[in-house]
Chain A
């Protein structure tokens, strides 16, 4: 690799560099000025904001980063394109929200003296996710997933206050280790066959024919286990409820949005770059006939949403319920990929933009209530909407949006998804997904029922929201409603970002 190429590559990864610098700044600041930990969130937020600005300026930059010398034959480690940029924006925006989120959570406040570690680890996660969105080399994919995972294992058990924190962390590590082991084994099989870990190379190799289909399929399923673990789809979802319930709620929200976004980004790119031989004029991906991705994805996504929704029905802990609900949403979004078309991938982008605001919003309100109540149990929500009208309405709005009823943003997300499905003539699948929506209504509305239809008890708190928290909720709630009625800006943005580089 010559220096020239390296220099060009560095120009392509400015956002990642700023994130790394912020990470270092946090570590140093924590070491040197350990008495002013209060400023750490501001440093984190500044770093993220700068990165976000750079990312938006660089939105349409394209190129391969870190290519070996002979760039025409060997592609890079990273493919920098607007598709990755979209997910980076999603990750950065949710990280910014999470920084504020963490600053007001009681759980994190109680571990104040370890705040430096907390933000360092969060930035570790962010860095891993940023690389995941653009990696096109299996080795880099693996490394960035590991970077994300290792940071999040620690964060899941960060507070160490209750037993469930430790349980979350341990479970997460065990499941994570197994799945990453499987993934690594799959990668090694692929390398053994294709002689390269680069996805573009892999695509060329597949199109040349002459593969042992059995071994190849096994390898792919093993790799898929790694991705499946990250986006928590069935049957790799078992860790999710326990970890989501046990982790600090800010981390739960972060895992359910950003980490999932990164997982989806890398999975979409893996299939798009590695297996699509050409895209036809209607935007459908024509895959090389080595592995039936569509069958696998359809089955997995139906399984995921059904399991997620039906399990959520029985949950009394709101955090756990939202965990299952996020599993179900991963199922819906996976359907967008299962369509194997540009339209489907586009639907995922649209869905994610809305999922980001409504899911973080729901977690935030649950957190504020938990700060006061010390519990996320639904039975403590009796009449809460009547006593704390603002929080009640906000949570109600987010949940209705998660259900996907108009006129909220969640409906538009679902609409685009079903448009993609109907366009691909996958009617039966669409019907199953829609029936799932009806099921999901029951558990979302159950919260509304507790909040509004039950009478307040003596223990029902009257929760005052501070001005800052009110603004934060409005920042999430207003778009949830407005994008439900006028969604053109988001869709336009997603449309701008749907092109992949070099394929």
Chain B
């Protein structure tokens, strides 16, 4: 694989697709669907190639040598004057065990979301152009190792997402779209500030021995690179690292979304068209937790250690609060949206444990939640396409009318509840084992188990209300799922079953990196806690 720019291709194939979509003539707009399918299909192939060439024994996280598929080029290099420092920004990509599952998830979900977009018929060209741009943004975030590059990809997603919700969404689409946009931008401006602060606090030594300020994430993780007086340098007694950590965390937390920054999510989900909900829940939410693992944790290890209880606390609140809200919903899609909030709480709880088991569970949960929730949203989409309503109380007895559909629903629901044998169970179990083992957050972990109970409650109750009982006469003409829907649901079902039975397939990918992260955190706390906190 040497020299083959697989990460660049993974990231920019959708952009090529977008350009192709834009140039096709208007009367052949339907071609756009095939172009998008091909582009995302290539992505899936590339992701599988990536996985099969991935060395499971390289840790990554903090040292460039153990990252894989590295691409590092000089992007912007502006030589400094006496008082303007040299500005050096690299096009720096690479993957380790934490990013590979996310790359895989992004590729799979994008492909399935393309299939799910097949019935879009309002300005098709525009839709797929935006969709593919969004795809590039997501993929770019997961493979960037330069903070500046990361930030560009992070922001790149905002505009397409705004349009995808705002143009192709439901009745209150405009409100939902702008709410999403403003929330996320609010978070990311703080990220920008922290990024600039970090930039001014650490040096990277270049090949010629000169030292320059840096956006290189790996350089920012090494305490030895920090200057004596940088505002985010641990060596500066008056540093602002604590405030910066909070600001950065809020930037990521909005994306997760963490209580109390979650209010944009139900709106966005309810208004977004099905494929966009799938992308949103399947991939976008993971960027928040991924960012915390990739940036907040290793760059601020001492503060992470300090605040782990609070991270767990918010994880717990997410789990319980999300589940309680889900119980109260009458709209199928809103229910899934709140269940998403609840399930992302497990990720936070697992991360907060700072233990190998917990973080393994968290990353696995990120992947599993991506596939399970994607499936749940597809399921909602299927019924909404046919019945044009999502009211949970409007249905009943669909099991007799749509038996195959009900079968898929049952798998997805039980996976979400965490039934042993399905993927959700493994990751939730790991999260609980991991967080239970850490004394500081044990109480919070115990309270969080309530979430499983509540989860079973709302899921089973939904199953009962929609699928069991007597068939509502209104729906006696509903057709069971068709070929395209099979094509979307079967792969996800297979993944869910496979990872339920053989989770090691994915755990082995991430394990070395997670170990390396945990080890790095524990050793680096001392390097970073020289003064102040």
B189 contacts A434, C-beta separation under 8 Å: yes
Interface size on A, residues (CB 8 A): 40
Instruction: Give min CB distance, A335 to chain B, whole Å.
Output: 14
Check B84 for interface membership: any CB of A closer than 8 A: yes
With A422-B231, A486-B76, A488-B78 as given contacts, are A445 and B181 in contact (CB-CB < 8 Å)?
yes
B76 contacts A281, C-beta separation under 8 Å: no
CA A443 to CA B231, docked complex, whole Å: 34
Chain B residues numbered 140-156 whose CB sits less than 8 Å from any CB in chain A: 151-152, 155-156
Check A129 for interface membership: any CB of B closer than 8 A: no
A430 contacts B193, C-beta separation under 8 Å: yes
Check B307 for interface membership: any CB of A closer than 8 A: no
CA A337 to CA B152, docked complex, whole Å: 27
* Residues of chain B within 8 A of A435, CB atoms compared: 186, 189
Residue of B nearest to A421 (CB): B196
Chain B residues numbered 334-393 whose CB sits less than 8 Å from any CB in chain A: none
Check B23 for interface membership: any CB of A closer than 8 A: no
Q: Which single member of B152, B181, B193 contacts A441 (CB below 8 Å)?
A: B181
Check B158 for interface membership: any CB of A closer than 8 A: yes
Determine chain A's interface SS by DSSP, over half rule.
helix
A422 contacts B159, C-beta separation under 8 Å: no
CA A422 to CA B166, docked complex, whole Å: 35
Check A449 for interface membership: any CB of B closer than 8 A: yes
Check B87 for interface membership: any CB of A closer than 8 A: yes
**What does the 1/0 interface line of A474-501 toward B look like (CB < 8 Å)?**
0000000000001110011001001000
Residue of A nearest to B238 (CB): A425
* Residues of chain B within 8 A of A438, CB atoms compared: 182, 185-186, 189
With A281-B83, A406-B156, A449-B178 as given contacts, are A419 and B186 in contact (CB-CB < 8 Å)?
no
With A434-B190, A487-B76, A491-B78 as given contacts, are A449 and B84 in contact (CB-CB < 8 Å)?
no
Check A461 for interface membership: any CB of B closer than 8 A: no
Q: Which single member of A283, A405, A492, A498 contacts B155 (CB below 8 Å)?
A: A405
Residue with the greatest number of chain A CB neighbours at <10 A, chosen from B152, B182, B189, B231? B189
* Residues of chain B within 8 A of A453, CB atoms compared: 163, 166-167, 173-174, 177
Instruction: Give min CB distance, A351 to chain B, whole Å.
Output: 15
* Residues of chain B within 8 A of A425, CB atoms compared: 231
* Residues of chain A within 8 A of B170, CB atoms compared: none
B83 contacts A343, C-beta separation under 8 Å: yes
B163 contacts A452, C-beta separation under 8 Å: yes
Chain A residues numbered 433-457 whose CB sits less than 8 Å from any CB in chain B: 434-435, 437-438, 441-442, 445, 448-449, 452-453
* Residues of chain B within 8 A of A427, CB atoms compared: 193, 197, 231, 240
A488 contacts B76, C-beta separation under 8 Å: yes
Check B290 for interface membership: any CB of A closer than 8 A: no
CA A498 to CA B84, docked complex, whole Å: 11
Chain B residues numbered 204-254 whose CB sits less than 8 Å from any CB in chain A: 231, 240
A283 contacts B123, C-beta separation under 8 Å: no
Chain A residues numbered 356-397 whose CB sits less than 8 Å from any CB in chain B: 386
CA A92 to CA B189, docked complex, whole Å: 34
* Residues of chain A within 8 A of B52, CB atoms compared: none
Check B119 for interface membership: any CB of A closer than 8 A: no
Instruction: Give min CB distance, B26 to chain A, whole Å.
Output: 10
With A346-B84, A452-B166, A453-B177 as given contacts, are A405 and B159 in contact (CB-CB < 8 Å)?
yes
Instruction: Give min CB distance, B169 to chain A, whole Å.
Output: 9
* Residues of chain A within 8 A of B528, CB atoms compared: none
CA A21 to CA B159, docked complex, whole Å: 48
B84 contacts A405, C-beta separation under 8 Å: no
With A419-B196, A453-B177, A487-B76 as given contacts, are A406 and B152 in contact (CB-CB < 8 Å)?
yes
Check A152 for interface membership: any CB of B closer than 8 A: no
With A419-B196, A423-B200, A434-B189 as given contacts, are A283 and B78 in contact (CB-CB < 8 Å)?
no
Q: Which single member of A282, A386, A419 contacts B123 (CB below 8 Å)?
A: A386
Check B458 for interface membership: any CB of A closer than 8 A: no
CA A281 to CA B82, docked complex, whole Å: 8
Residue of B nearest to A411 (CB): B155
Interface size class of B (residues with CB under 8 A): 35 or more
* Residues of chain A within 8 A of B181, CB atoms compared: 441, 445
* Residues of chain B within 8 A of A487, CB atoms compared: 76
Instruction: Give min CB distance, A474 to chain B, whole Å.
Output: 15
With A427-B231, A430-B193 as given contacts, are A449 and B166 in contact (CB-CB < 8 Å)?
yes
* Residues of chain B within 8 A of A498, CB atoms compared: 81
A422 contacts B200, C-beta separation under 8 Å: yes
B84 contacts A343, C-beta separation under 8 Å: yes
CA A487 to CA B152, docked complex, whole Å: 14
**What does the 1/0 interface line of B72-98 toward A look like (CB < 8 Å)?**
000111100111100100000000000
* Residues of chain B within 8 A of A299, CB atoms compared: none
**What does the 1/0 interface line of A326-363 toward B look like (CB < 8 Å)?**
00000000000000011100100000000000000000
CA A405 to CA B193, docked complex, whole Å: 14
Check A54 for interface membership: any CB of B closer than 8 A: no
Instruction: Give min CB distance, B486 to chain A, whole Å.
Output: 34
* Residues of chain B within 8 A of A441, CB atoms compared: 181-182, 185
* Residues of chain A within 8 A of B197, CB atoms compared: 422, 427
CA A321 to CA B166, docked complex, whole Å: 22
Q: Which single member of A282, A418, A445 contacts B196 (CB below 8 Å)?
A: A418
Check B425 for interface membership: any CB of A closer than 8 A: no
Check B199 for interface membership: any CB of A closer than 8 A: yes
Check B162 for interface membership: any CB of A closer than 8 A: yes
Residue of B nearest to A437 (CB): B189
Instruction: Give min CB distance, A448 to chain B, whole Å.
Output: 8
Q: Which single member of B83, B189, B231 contacts A282 (CB below 8 Å)?
A: B83
* Residues of chain A within 8 A of B87, CB atoms compared: 491
CA A282 to CA B81, docked complex, whole Å: 10
Chain A residues numbered 63-113 whose CB sits less than 8 Å from any CB in chain B: none
With A405-B158, A438-B182, A441-B185 as given contacts, are A449 and B200 in contact (CB-CB < 8 Å)?
no
With A430-B193, A431-B193 as given contacts, are A495 and B182 in contact (CB-CB < 8 Å)?
no
Check A407 for interface membership: any CB of B closer than 8 A: yes
* Residues of chain B within 8 A of A156, CB atoms compared: none
Check B192 for interface membership: any CB of A closer than 8 A: yes
CA A418 to CA B177, docked complex, whole Å: 28
Q: Which single member of A342, A400, A431 contacts B83 (CB below 8 Å)?
A: A342
A495 contacts B84, C-beta separation under 8 Å: yes
Residue of A nearest to B169 (CB): A453
B193 contacts A449, C-beta separation under 8 Å: no
Instruction: Give min CB distance, B230 to chain A, whole Å.
Output: 10
**What does the 1/0 interface line of A207-230 toward B look like (CB < 8 Å)?**
000000000000000000000000
CA A442 to CA B158, docked complex, whole Å: 13
Residue of A nearest to B173 (CB): A453
With A486-B76, A488-B77 as given contacts, are A434 and B192 in contact (CB-CB < 8 Å)?
yes
Residue of B nearest to A449 (CB): B174
* Residues of chain A within 8 A of B231, CB atoms compared: 422, 425, 427
Q: Which single member of A283, A411, A422 contacts B84 (CB below 8 Å)?
A: A283
* Residues of chain A within 8 A of B123, CB atoms compared: 386
Q: Which single member of A343, A407, A445 contacts B162 (CB below 8 Å)?
A: A445
A452 contacts B167, C-beta separation under 8 Å: yes
Residue of A nearest to B26 (CB): A389
Instruction: Give min CB distance, A99 to chain B, whole Å.
Output: 32
Q: Which single member of B83, B156, B162, B193 contacts A283 (CB below 8 Å)?
A: B83
CA A438 to CA B402, docked complex, whole Å: 47
Instruction: Give min CB distance, A426 to chain B, whole Å.
Output: 11
Residue of A nearest to B244 (CB): A427
Instruction: Give min CB distance, B267 to chain A, whole Å.
Output: 15
Closest 8 CB pairs of A and B: A283-B83, A434-B189, A406-B152, A453-B166, A422-B196, A406-B155, A342-B83, A491-B78
**Chain B contact residues, CB within 8 Å of chain A:** 75-78, 81-84, 87, 123, 151-152, 155-156, 158-159, 162-163, 166-167, 173-174, 177-178, 181-182, 185-186, 189-190, 192-193, 196-197, 199-200, 231, 240
**What are 25 sample pairs from A and B whose C-beta atoms fall under 8 A apart?**
A341-B83, A342-B83, A406-B155, A407-B152, A415-B192, A415-B196, A418-B192, A418-B193, A419-B196, A419-B199, A422-B197, A422-B200, A422-B231, A431-B193, A434-B189, A435-B189, A438-B186, A441-B182, A449-B166, A449-B174, A449-B178, A452-B167, A486-B75, A486-B76, A495-B84
